[in-house]
């Protein structure tokens, strides 16, 4: 297979995304994750841009480097009218301890004249002299031709001249950047093919932004047209609308185009890597992300589920396990018998497909959804509902009563909860404070139950969503969706009520019941 070089710029271009800020330790952890994933090059930042990036390169220089990936430092061409040896940015690239650098230069005559305010000849000199200077210091240099596609559309001769200047100075590759992110795939493919022919064997790369929603398509078509180097970020992080999403691009290169871009066994870690880096960014992964999102291989329609159970290829474009994901069959009022039986197999494997309880459960499911319940992301609540109807739901605790008080001021522990719990005839009465009524209730219930079930200390809430289901103002029915984890599994629960505290309580107690039920199944008998 043809080899495609992959440069990840999550730590540089991705860090320019709104709301994203990496600590030094975050960056080191992300480098380890990207190295394990198998990318070739990691653009770690600009050593001259800020103290944090300078500290990162110092840590990489003095500590353990990545096992496989090569660290790349990012910078700009020399300043106008300044010798390369006197330019602090170029000197920082030479001194930071890496052996590869990406430098960007203007390939659009409009930018050279109106932004840098230099002559077109001076701009060419800045490109060529900067690359030659870094190469003479032993660095492998990648030239990022900024605004290349816009520049080519305006003045193709000059845009190509910037690439020729980079090539003559010793660039290892020229990267065509769709910096404004508005180019169409057809134009990117056509221009990339022309550039590849002009460069006479020098590797050509693609760096696409997503302002037109086509960064992944532009990247794949550029490769089809002759590019052998791709740049992007995990989860598409980046300036404005982001960069080409490597979690979309890399599976496309490997599984759709048959190209070598990561180690073969690394793809099974792609979904976990996407989630890990989302956690490092403190943002939720878009679950509709191709390949790596929970919804990427989720099936809801009865016909779709029936088809995929008979033959995966009927409604799945690839095996989700190849990218570390898994198929999900969603329960809803649209679900058919096949969906329900598949889910019931894990709960009640002895239940016959034609048992009357199956029809009763389908009816109950549809009735619950008509009331506002949604079980697509609430497998915990569905399992408990099924066990209840089958007469098999275990009872781990009973709540005698509880009281919740909330008061001003709204800062700190503004709510208190009192609760009375009974477990196997033993009663526990306790209270707790919280930032709000749900937090206080959660604290009081856990405090009481941990006396009997200390393993609850490992369970924690990871997501909490509230949805208004009708238009009755403050009297509206609300749905609360909770996502919980014990560090190994993740499960969802749901509660519905006109009283938001009651809806939260139902989702919360379902989450604890499901956790205890799973723990009980795992215990040796």
Q: For residue 336, is pLDDT > 70?
A: no
Q: Of the segments 155-169, 275-289, 397-411, which one has the largest average pLDDT value?
A: 155-169
Specify the residue for token string 């190509």. 160
Q: For residue 358, is pLDDT > 50?
A: yes
Residue 126 lies in a domain: yes
What confidence tens digit (pLDDT) does each residue in 230-264 have? 999 999 999 999 999 999 999 999 999 999 999 87
Instruction: Return the axis-axis angle of helices 120-136 and 88-95, rounded to nearest 10°.
Output: 20
Q: For residue 335, is pLDDT > 70?
A: no
Domain total of the chain:
1
Beta-carbon contacts of residue 355 (< 8 Å; ≥ 6 apart): none
- What's the token pair of residue 63? 């500590």
Residue 34 lies in a domain: yes
* Percent of the chain whose pLDDT exceeds 90: 70
Q: For residue 522, is pLDDT > 70?
A: no
Backbone angles phi, psi at 183, to 5 degrees: -75, 150
Q: For residue 104, is pLDDT > 80?
A: yes
Question: Is cis: bond before 514, omega within 30 of 0?
Answer: no
Q: For residue 523, is pLDDT > 60?
A: no
Least confident of 106-120, 196-210, 510-524: 510-524
Residue 473 lies in a domain: no
Question: What b/e sequence results for 250-274 when a residue is b if at least 16 CB atoms lie within 10 Å of its CB, and e otherwise?
Answer: bbbbbbeeebebbeeebbebbbbbb
Residue 96 lies in a domain: yes
Residue 374: the pLDDT is: 83
Strand order across the 426-434 sheet: 398-406, 415-423, 426-434
Residue 51 lies in a domain: yes
Residue 434 lies in a domain: no
Report the distance separating Cα 210 and Cα 289, nearest Å.
14
User: What sign does the CA torsion over 215, 221, 225, 231 have?
Assistant: positive
**Nearest alpha carbon to residue 101 among 134, 68, 132, 128:** 134
Query: Pick the residue with more confidence: 317 or 303?
Result: 317
Average pLDDT, the chain: 91
Residue 166: the pLDDT is: 98
Quick one: which H or E segment has residue 280?
A: helix 270-281
Beta-carbon contacts of residue 97 (< 8 Å; ≥ 6 apart): 57, 58, 60, 61
Res. 525 pLDDT band, cuts 50 70 90: very low
Residue 333: the pLDDT is: 54
Angstrom CA distances, 282 to 276, 285, 287, 464, stand at 10, 9, 15, 15
Q: Of the segments 247-256, 415-424, 437-446, which one has the largest average pLDDT value?
A: 247-256
Q: What is the separation of C-alpha 89 from the centre of its chain, rounded to a whole number of angstroms?
A: 32
Query: Pick the residue with more confidence: 480 or 309?
Result: 480
Residue 507: the pLDDT is: 95
Residue 227 lies in a domain: yes
* Domain boundaries, position 42: 5-281
Res. 487 pLDDT band, cuts 50 70 90: confident
Residue 310 lies in a domain: no
**Nearest alpha carbon to residue 229 among 202, 255, 256, 194:** 202
- Give me the mean pLDDT over the 308-316 stretch: 89
Residue 524: the pLDDT is: 46
**Nearest alpha carbon to residue 297 among 323, 262, 333:** 323
Are 139 and 147 in contact, with CB atoms under 8 Å apart?
A: no
CATH code of 150's domain:
3.20.20.70
Q: What is the DSSP string of 464-508?
A: EEEEE-SS-GGG--EEEEEEEE-SS-EEEEEEEESSHHHHHHHHH
């Amino acid at each position: 297979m043809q080899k495609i070089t992959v440069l990840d710029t999550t730590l540089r271009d991705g860090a320019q995304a709104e709301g994203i800020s990496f600590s030094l330790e975050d960056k080191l952890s992300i480098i380890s994750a990207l190295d394990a994933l198998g990318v070739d090059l990691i653009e770690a930042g600009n050593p001259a841009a800020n103290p944090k990036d300078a500290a990162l390169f110092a840590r990489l220089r003095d500590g353990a480097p990545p096992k496989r990936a090569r660290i790349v430092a990012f910078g700009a061409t020399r300043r106008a009218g300044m010798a390369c040896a006197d330019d602090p940015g170029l000197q920082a690239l030479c001194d930071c301890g890496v052996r590869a650098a990406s430098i960007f230069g203007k390939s659009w005559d409009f930018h050279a004249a109106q932004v840098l305010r230099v002559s077109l000849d001076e701009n060419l000199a800045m490109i060529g002299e900067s690359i030659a200077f870094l190469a003479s210091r032993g660095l492998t240099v990648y030239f990022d031709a900024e605004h290349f596609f816009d520049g080519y559309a305006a003045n193709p001769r000059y845009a190509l001249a910037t690439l020729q200047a980079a090539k003559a100075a010793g660039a290892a590759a020229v990267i065509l950047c769709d910096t404004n992110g508005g180019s169409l795939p057809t134009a990117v493919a056509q221009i990339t093919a022309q550039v590849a022919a002009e460069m006479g064997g020098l590797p050509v790369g693609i760096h696409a932004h997503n302002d037109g929603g086509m960064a992944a398509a532009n990247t794949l078509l550029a490769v089809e047209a002759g590019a052998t180097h791709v740049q992007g970020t995990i989860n598409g992080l980046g300036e404005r609308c982001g960069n080409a999403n490597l979690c979309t691009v890399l599976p496309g290169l490997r599984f759709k185009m048959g190209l070598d871009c990561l180690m073969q066994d690394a793809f099974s870690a792609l979904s976990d890597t996407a989630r890990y880096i989302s956690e490092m960014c403190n943002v939720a992964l878009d679950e509709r992300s191709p390949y790596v999102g929970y919804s990427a291989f989720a099936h809801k329609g009865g016909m779709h589920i029936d088809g995929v159970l008979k033959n995966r290829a009927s409604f799945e474009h690839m095996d989700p396990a190849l990218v570390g994901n898994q198929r999900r069959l969603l329960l809803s009022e649209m679900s058919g018998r096949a969906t329900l039986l598949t889910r019931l197999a894990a709960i009640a494997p002895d239940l016959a497909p034609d048992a009357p309880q199956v029809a009763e459960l389908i009816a109950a499911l549809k009735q619950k959804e008509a009331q506002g319940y949604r079980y697509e992301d609430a497998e915990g609540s569905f399992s408990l509902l099924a066990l209840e109807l089958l007469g098999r739901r275990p009872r781990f605790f009973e709540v005698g009563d509880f009281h919740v008080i909330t008061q001003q001021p709204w800062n700190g522990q503004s709510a208190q909860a009192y609760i009375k719990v009974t477990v196997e005839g033993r009663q526990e009465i306790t209270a707790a404070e919280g930032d709000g009524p749900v937090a206080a209730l959660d604290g009081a219930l856990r405090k009481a139950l941990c006396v009997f079930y200390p393993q609850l200390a490992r369970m924690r809430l990871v997501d909490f969503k509230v949805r208004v289901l009708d238009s009755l103002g403050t009297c509206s029915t609300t749905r609360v969706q909770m996502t919980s984890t014990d560090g190994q599994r993740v499960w969802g629960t749901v509660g519905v009520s006109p009283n938001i505290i009651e809806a939260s309580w139902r989702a919360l107690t379902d989450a604890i019941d499901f956790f205890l039920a799973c723990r009980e199944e795992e215990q040796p008998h």
